[in-house]
Amino acid sequence: MSTAARPLFAFDDTFVRQLEGLYLAWQGAPAPDPRFLVLNRALAGELGLDADALDTPEGAAILAGATVPEGATPVAQAYAGHQFGGYSPRLGDGRALLLGELVDPDGRRRDLHLKGSGRTPFARGGDGRAAVGPMLREYVVSEAMHALEIPTTRSLAVVATGEDVVRETMLPGAVLARVAASHLRVGTFQYAARLGDPELVRRLADYAIARHHPHAAGAENPYLAFFASVVRAQAELVARWMLVGFVHGVMNTDNVTISGETIDYGPCAFMDAYDPATVFSSIDQAGRYAFGNQPPIMQWNLARLAEALVPLIDADQQAAVAAATEVLRSFQAHYGQAWGRGMAAKLGFVQPSDDDELANDLLALMHRGRVDHTAAFRALADLLRGDDAPARALFADGDGFDAWAERWRASLAAQDRDPAQAAEEMDRVNPVYVPRNHLVEEALAAATAGDLGPFEALVAVLQRPFAVRPGLERYAEAGPEEPGYRTFCGT
């Protein structure tokens, strides 16, 4: 019998072969003692990987970036980006590497990428490292988003490096192994466009079309159709965020994917009390990326993509700009439709209503009463089942709420909705468990101190966000109101 082990990964490398000029070949830094903090065995299985073979010292060294796996050509990807509105022509993976592409058993191609694997030529002043807490935060929140059926990058593993990193204090270092449809970003197009080689932008666009928006290839104007497809994907994505109270926190153009997946969980958080002005990021003092600003900011980011695509859309620049502008305007309609559909389902309707008045009046009540966003929609389903206690406990303004609830029931009746059935369907789209800030902080603090128990428990709860389970009451409760709650990115 042959003892030659099958390689852990069967990598492809279309990005490297087709997009020279958009990356630098690079390798990770050594790690003194790589150990798995968490390995997503289910995701490994989905990717066609052998989880047992991965769960070894060799697997940990590879996912820490310390060993280059057989058949891999790791690269640091180049990209530019508007960060908080200001343009940086050269960002790139300062502390990350694309290890390669995996084609899963269903034929889906996905990137395997490491974050925190050491300095690259794009590192600027950064140390190339990441601390355990922020990498576990990305793991738990991205996996929670996936369970909420929101398009997102996934987390395969977090590996402790055995080395401390210098932040405000010394913290244990770690590397996140991330899986994504790809790591093409709006910022990738901005970078290519600024290099002044129109053929490179075309190659990038052709690659992105083939990989993510293949129907655009057959359109009369493929590049315009491609732009329209990205606009639609991102409008639908942001609508999903808004429907669950997710604040991304750092919607720079380098953190906006071409695939339509949520990426880069830095200062992200779920809102407790409903307030469109909610901001968590310590560096977002102007509230640019506040909860309620997310749709217009996404549209602004997509305008930056349009600018990079103009030369491909039409040789006549004026005509290209006019066509791109019209497509950019479709963002609002796509967003409005996706939000309206989603909100109708959250309120138990089968048909989206012609206007958003009922939903907006509810949100206004929630805003005024600082009502917990996640709990409110579950309380409404309870109300339909005849239990008004949860709604009473949440909505202080009894009269305003009662009048609204009366209108809501009348609208459901007008659609011939059976209340019990509507309640059941609402519970399938309104999560009871989301990664609440106090739970995430508690889990990360314990993990940083060496106890992974609370983190593992939280990940397990969030895997089934719609199913109430006895004994998990504390995971459904709002945390203490913390007006000054802040999260940090890039750490």
Residue 92 as a binder of ligand AMP (CB under 6 A): the answer is yes
Nearer to Mg ion, 255 or 259 (CB): 255
Q: Which range in 88-96, 287-295, 409-417, 452-460 contacts ligand AMP by CB under 6 A?
A: 88-96
**Residue of 63, 91, 179, 461 that binds ligand AMP (CB under 6 A):** 91
Cα(120)–Cα(128) distance, integer angstroms: 7
Nearer to ligand AMP, 186 or 371 (CB): 186
Nearest of 404, 411, 299 to residue 354 by alpha carbon: 411
Which amino acid appears at position 232 of this protein? R
**Residue of 65, 69, 74, 94 that binds ligand AMP (CB under 6 A):** 94
Cα(103)–Cα(42) distance, integer angstroms: 16
Walk across the sheet containing 109-115 and list its strands. 23-25, 75-77, 96-103, 109-115, 170-180, 154-166, 35-39
List all residues 6 or more positions away from 283 whose beta carbon is below 8 Å from its beta carbon: 84, 267, 488, 489
CB of 130 to Mg ion, least distance (A): 12
Residue 183 as a binder of ligand AMP (CB under 6 A): the answer is no
Cα(434)–Cα(145) distance, integer angstroms: 9
Q: What is the 3-state secondary structure (H, E, C) of 54-99?
A: HCCHHHHHHHCCCCCCCCCCCEEECCCEEECCEEECCCCCCCEEEE
Q: Which range in 85-93, 177-185, 402-410, 433-441 contacts ligand AMP by CB under 6 A?
A: 85-93
Binders of ligand AMP in range 470-489 (CB under 6 A): 489
Q: Strand locations in 273-418, DSSP E?
A: none
Strand, coil or helix: 21: coil
Partner interacting with residue 178 (select from ligand AMP, Mg ion, none; CB below 5-8 Å by kind): none
140 to each of 127, 144, 193, 216, 401, how far by Cα in Å? 24, 6, 35, 34, 34
Shortest Cβ contact with Mg ion: which residue? 264
The b-or-e profile of 199-227 (16+ CB within 10 A means b, else e) is: ebbebbbbbbbebbbeebeeeeebbbbbb
Residue 95 as a binder of ligand AMP (CB under 6 A): the answer is yes
Nearer to ligand AMP, 92 or 431 (CB): 92
Nearer to Mg ion, 115 or 212 (CB): 115
Specify whether 427 is catalytic. Answer: no
Nearer to Mg ion, 43 or 130 (CB): 130
Binding mask 237-276 for Mg ion (x = CB under 5 A): ------------------x--------x------------
Pairing of strands 75-77, 81-83: unpaired
Partner interacting with residue 271 (select from Mg ion, ligand AMP, none; CB below 5-8 Å by kind): none
Nearer to ligand AMP, 297 or 347 (CB): 297
**Residue of 82, 110, 129, 185 that binds ligand AMP (CB under 6 A):** 129
% helix, strand, coil for the chain, step of 5: 45, 15, 40
Binders of ligand AMP in range 242-261 (CB under 6 A): 250, 255
Q: Which range in 19-27, 46-54, 123-131, 461-469 contacts ligand AMP by CB under 6 A?
A: 123-131
Cα(272)–Cα(371) distance, integer angstroms: 8
Residue 186 as a binder of ligand AMP (CB under 6 A): the answer is no
Check 111, 254, 372, 427 and give the catalytic one.
254
Nearest of 98, 166, 100 to residue 130 by alpha carbon: 166
Partner interacting with residue 456 (select from Mg ion, ligand AMP, none; CB below 5-8 Å by kind): none
CB of 141 to ligand AMP, least distance (A): 14
CB of 69 to ligand AMP, least distance (A): 22
Cα(163)–Cα(267) distance, integer angstroms: 24
Size of the site for Mg ion (CB under 5 A): 2
Active-site residues: which are they? 254
For ligand AMP, the binding residues (CB under 6 A) are 91-96, 122-123, 126-129, 250, 255, 264, 266, 489-490
